[in-house]
Structure 1
Amino acid sequence: MSAADDLDRTKLLAARFRAASERPYLASALYSLSVVPTDAVPTMGVDRHWRCYVSPAFVDATPVEELAGVWVHEAAHLLRDHHGRADRIPPAQRRDRLRVNLAQDCEINDDLLADGLRLPAGRVTPDAFDLPPGRLFEEYLPRLPASDAVLDCGPGAHGEPTPWQLDDADGAAPRVTEAEAKAIRRHTAEAMRAHVRNRGTLPAGWRRWADQVLEPVVDWRRVLAGAVREALSWASGAVDYTYRRPSRRSSALPGVVLPSLRRPLPRVAIVIDTSGSMGDRELGAALAEVTGVLREVGVRGDRVTVLSCDADVQAASRVTAAEQIELKGGGGTDMRVGIRQALDAPHPPSVVIVLTDGHTPWPDEPAACRLIAVVIGAGSAAPSWAETIRVPRG
């Protein structure tokens, strides 16, 4: 008799129904898992395509309440993109896939138990290794001993291939694509947010995960550097005519001086919000960003102007190093004044970078140059015609 014939599918699906009924925010994820009966796994495991491999003997021996907990456990590996995150850890740490799986189980199980789920005996938690709860598996992994565990949640967890997983092209069970998986994760995170708004409770690990899915943390330093490089590339790509160096084609027209084309070096203006709403920490972040801009974009000498601005421009200077920047202000906030003064300069900039907490009015019309707004904290974004880079406070 095959594993499919042995599987008590009614009991297994009843456990999934129980899990989805008691935690409806997980329903989409749970019902996206397709069942693959097999004797090759000791309990249950998943692959990258949301196929859930199930041992018939394990289903027979496990109460429905605990099976419901295992359903949530396996879905959690996929929701938290454990296989994708495992792909990004150093190869030396990935070598022991069961140790990776153990660290991932530590990340998941303390949340599940805190949420009142029952799990079968033998499921690990961080306190079994004297580790603090509520951490990510990447933090647990270096602190775990070599694993002698036999539980294997599959390539959907640790990311490494296993002998029992179906071929990627096998059509025996439905597959979830990566794009579909991202949609499931986002839908689940939104359902969790709605659950909390309706005065429901969630373990800290799930709340953190939902926040990261709906408001992903990006490396804003890299984004800012890329935005500035792209803006400067755009500015230096503009060409103009000059008679300072006549065109070589002038020799073909005696008595006529033709202008040559030149590629201008871009100028940068950095407008720093020094208003009262910007605390010392925010001013420090602004200064650090100026240092990063000067270093990253390679614009030197007198081609960078820094303006300290609250409701008026308090200081304007050309700088070659961050130490030369003078931050003055502390009054109201109106970055339009600083932007306008930058553009009215005898040599106007090609790129204006505004460092602000966002609590400021903005120009009604697009500036006559590229404008990058670096908004520190949760203030309002700049107009749609400007590029906004978000920097978290602290």
Structure 2
Amino acid sequence: MSSHEVKTSLGAKTSLDLDLDKLLAARLQAARARPYLATALFALHVVESRRVPTMAVDRHWRCYASPTFVDRTPVEELAGVWVHEVSHLLRDHHGRSDRVARERGLTGPGERLRMNIAADLEINDDAYGDGLARPEGVVVPESMGLPDGELMEEYLSRFRLGQFTDGLSWLDCGSGADGLERDWELGPEGAHGLSEQERDAVRFRVAQGINGRPGRASKQWRRWAEEAFHPPQPWRELLGAAVRSATSGPGAGEDYSYGRPARRSASVPGAVLPSLRRRPPRVCVVVDTSGSVSDAELGSALLEVAAISRAVGGRRDLVTVVPCDASARIAHPLCRAEGIPLVGGGGTDLRTGFAKALRLSPRPDVVVILTDGQTPWPTTRPPCRTVVGLFPRTSDSYDEDDPDYVPDGPPGWARVVELG
């Protein structure tokens, strides 16, 4: 988009008009500093707005810019803001914020501000340097006493509005950062928004650029590009139902804690009684490692394990992985998903995997099975919620010697989701 075209779309120039030459020069500098993001940077349509504190994006890939902010900010810092705003869109912070809000019951402008801050923390820990100047007042994990390298969902559970966020009430990166539409945005029917297919195409091209020359991108961007090609299933929604079922019975998902004394302690002078607290569910993931499961599918299984870990609030101590073909292997506690040895290659009998999972101490609240379905299933329902992820298979890929053979499907007591 040329400077003339943008000026035409924004109307006649006034004394307070946006300095488009400066803004577009900053975008060009951002593309030079982060060439793998160039496709996304140039896909953004500029909209002048006097109601935006700095710059902001909506979920339809429009970039709103304050003329006053652009005027007072050096080009070097504006380049960093361009990268920051487009990162919100590439990492789907609007969609992820909507999911978190539904799952955790977060409502109101205060919670949306927390989501915006958490999304900024995910981006800013590695956004600057190497040709990009850090803008003034940017929030980083170190300034809030938090570790680098975490995701928005993890940061969101680590802080509340208070001492470290008092100076951030002005922060507003638009609906592209927290999913909540503003009245100053053009909305889905406004001009120059990208369709869902166009947004996916932009993400795909950016991921291609990162994977083609991975040495130029940070570790966080390489992780994003890998998942953009192989997006995990929506385990948050899936496990949400599993969690509600697993913790609905008495004693399930509950434990005693002295972190907050029980209210009945007042009736027992001199004694402190523990309270009964809900905890995230313990999840055991049984991965089918038989010969009929390809290496690519095993790689996809590791991505699903990482997604499941995030679905329980990043509590890796609550996730265990059991590789299983004809027999169950060692149960591995989750440290890093890519470090789990998926050993196997023989026949398939996931009943041994079920048995191994149920012998764990403490016993899991949810068992997740990742398989191609070519296995016998337990005849009785396990005493916990069961979720089955099926790798896709066509009817002629089960048995070359018997084209009419189709394995038994998962039992009716299991929640089934098609993978891939």
Fold-level similarity (TM above 0.5): yes
Aligned partner of 1:90: which letter? A
Which residue of the other structure, out of 97, 100, 115, is the alignment partner of 1:86? 97
2:178 is the alignment partner of 1:161:
no
Q: How does 1:1-394 map to 2 (within 5 A)?
A: 5=14, 6-91=17-102, 92-95=105-108, 96=110, 97-113=112-128, 115-146=130-161, 147-148=165-166, 149=168, 150-171=170-191, 174-196=192-214, 200-218=215-233, 273=290, 281-283=322-324, 287=328, 322=355, 363-365=399-401, 367-371=403-407
Deviation per CA, 1:160-196, whole angstroms, max 9, x where unpaired? 122321243233xx11112211111111111111121
Give me the whole-angstrom Cα distance separating, in 1, the residues matched to 2:115 and 2:143: 16
Q: TM-score, normalised by structure 1?
A: 0.58
Deviation per CA, 1:26-53, whole angstroms, max 9, x where unpaired? 1110011001011111110011111110
Aligned partner of 1:99: which letter? R
User: Could you say what secondary structure the match of 1:122 adopts?
Assistant: coil
Aligned partner of 2:84: which letter? H
Give me the whole-angstrom Cα distance separating, in 1, the residues matched to 2:409 and 2:175: 42
CA drift at 1:90: 3.0
Give me the whole-angstrom Cα distance separating, in 1, the residues matched to 2:345 and 2:57: 56
Aligned partner of 2:153: which letter? E
Q: Is the 8 A contact 1:106 1:126 kept in 2?
A: yes
Q: Is the 8 A contact 1:4 1:38 kept in 2?
A: no
Q: Would the alpha carbon gap of residues 211 and 274 (structure 1) be closer, same or farther in structure 2, given more than 3 Å must change?
A: closer
Give me the whole-angstrom Cα distance separating, in 1, the residues matched to 2:201 and 2:146: 33
Aligned partner of 2:52: which letter? V
Q: Would the alpha carbon gap of residues 370 and 93 (structure 1) be closer, same or farther in structure 2, given more than 3 Å must change?
A: same
Aligned to 1:381: none
User: Could you say what secondary structure the match of 1:53 adopts?
Assistant: strand
Deviation per CA, 1:53-86, whole angstroms, max 9, x where unpaired? 0011111111111111100100000000100001
CA drift at 1:282: 2.0
Aligned partner of 1:283: which letter? C
Q: Which piece of structure 1 moves more, 2-11 or 93-102?
A: 2-11
Q: Would the alpha carbon gap of residues 127 and 167 (structure 1) be closer, same or farther in structure 2, given more than 3 Å must change?
A: same
Q: Would the alpha carbon gap of residues 274 and 18 (structure 1) be closer, same or farther in structure 2, given more than 3 Å must change?
A: closer
CA drift at 1:119: 2.3
> Structure 2: where are the runs of 5+ without partners?
1-9, 239-287, 299-320, 330-343, 357-373, 377-387, 392-396, 411-417
Q: Would the alpha carbon gap of residues 165 and 371 (structure 1) be closer, same or farther in structure 2, given more than 3 Å must change?
A: same
- The structure having more radius of gyration, on CA atoms, is 1
Give me the whole-angstrom Cα distance separating, in 2, the residues matched to 1:69 and 1:202: 15
Deviation per CA, 1:289-345, whole angstroms, max 9, x where unpaired? xxxxxxxxxxxxxxxxxxxx98799xx9x99x958xxxxxxxxxxxxxxx9xx9xxx
Give me the whole-angstrom Cα distance separating, in 2, the residues matched to 1:68 and 1:181: 22
Q: Is the 8 A contact 2:233 2:419 kept in 1?
A: no
Q: Is the 8 A contact 2:325 2:346 kept in 1?
A: no
Give me the whole-angstrom Cα distance separating, in 2, the residues matched to 1:85 and 1:117: 27
CA drift at 1:203: 1.5
Q: TM-score, normalised by structure 2?
A: 0.55
Q: Would the alpha carbon gap of residues 52 and 4 (structure 1) be closer, same or farther in structure 2, given more than 3 Å must change?
A: farther
> Structure 1: where are the runs of 5+ without partners?
224-270, 289-308, 324-338, 343-352, 375-387
Aligned to 1:332: none
RMSD of aligned Cα (Å): 4.3
Q: Would the alpha carbon gap of residues 15 and 311 (structure 1) be closer, same or farther in structure 2, given more than 3 Å must change?
A: closer
Give me the whole-angstrom Cα distance separating, in 2, the residues matched to 1:69 and 1:312: 53
Percent of pairs identical after alignment? 44
CA drift at 1:138: 0.8
